Amino acid sequence: MGRTHCSHIVDRLYNYNKTGKPSPTMNKSFLSEMAEKCPPRTKKGQTDPLVYLNPDSGSNHSFTSSFYSRVLSNKSVLEVDQQLLYNEDTKQISEEFSASFEDFRKSFALSMSKMGSINVLTKNEASGSPYGFDARSEPGSHSMGRTHCSHIVDRLYNFNKTGKPSPTMNKSFLSEMAENCPPRTKKGQTDPLVYLNPDSGSNHSFTSSFYSRVLSNKSVLEVDQQLLYNDDTKQISEEFSASFEDFRKLFALSMSKMGSINVLTKNEGEIRRYCRRRN
């Protein structure tokens, strides 16, 4: 989903790696299509045109796996996306997700769930973000996915070591969660899983009901409920709860910004043993 400015891809269309030629990986017909929308340079006073990162979804901001079909057809708008074909592992994943939207949706939900370990930064705390990530819409990634009870058990029974549940939780929702998550698991028992957004549940639906739950004090994670503790994020929660379209557009923009992160490979990056912290 989302859009990007032509200035971010113009080198790929006309001067890839300073060769004076377009990227050799681009599908020829798609290259022509993009060249029509993005001229080599804009005229004085002309705004920098915008193009959709996934032309198949376009203005509908549809949540589909067609992105991966475009990667396999060499029709990616961004070079960083096309690079998924340059590695056997990511190529195989692209083929799998292109063939099965359900596999993609479940895996995406899991990834968004892992993002739940990132606390929301507000005001001056967020000013150092090199990519301009938006604390307003990214918590909305919790509209899908699950988390283990062990991650929320303190909130249900011993919030801030008080021996009591979090005072912000809706009482009926607290009872519901307590049924799903006992204070402790028995020996040999697996750590239960609960949905981050019970309204979407196993359907992994991408909706704004997450924000309605925040406003009703029915957030599963404390980090989500904290959106009410700040006037700015509270106002935005109210806006997104009332308008799914506003939420969808801004979420798409946030995902677009994440596209500027190049994948770290070999010794440049690391595979975390525990996703919530560096090794």
Task: Quote the strand ranges of 72-148, DSSP E.
Answer: 146-148
* DSSP per residue, 144-189: S-EEEGGGTHHHHH-GGGSSS--TTS-HHHHHHHHHHS-SSPPTT-
Cα 37 to the center of its chain, rounded Å: 27
Asked if residue 199 belongs to a known ligand binding site, the reply is yes
With tokens 């901001």, the residue in question is 61
Q: Which helix (H) or strand (E) holds 106?
A: helix 101-114
Q: Coil, strand or helix: which one is 96? A: helix
Asked if residue 142 belongs to a known ligand binding site, the reply is yes
Rounded-to-integer distance, Cα 259 and Cα 238, Å: 27
* DSSP per residue, 229-274: GSHHHHHHHHHHHH-HHHHHHHHHHHHHHHTTSPPP-GGGS---SS
Cα angle, residue 10 at apex, residues 8 and 13 outer, rounded to 5°: 130
| Closest by Cα among 232, 208, 233 to 224 | 233
Give me the half-sphere count of Cα atoms (radius 13 Å) on the Cβ side of residue 11: 7
Cα angle, residue 236 at apex, residues 202 and 157 outer, rounded to 5°: 55
Structure tokens at 47: 């705004």
Please give the annotated binding residues for Ca(2+), written as ranges: 199
Please give the annotated binding residues, written as ranges: 142, 199
Please give the annotated binding residues for heme b, written as ranges: 142
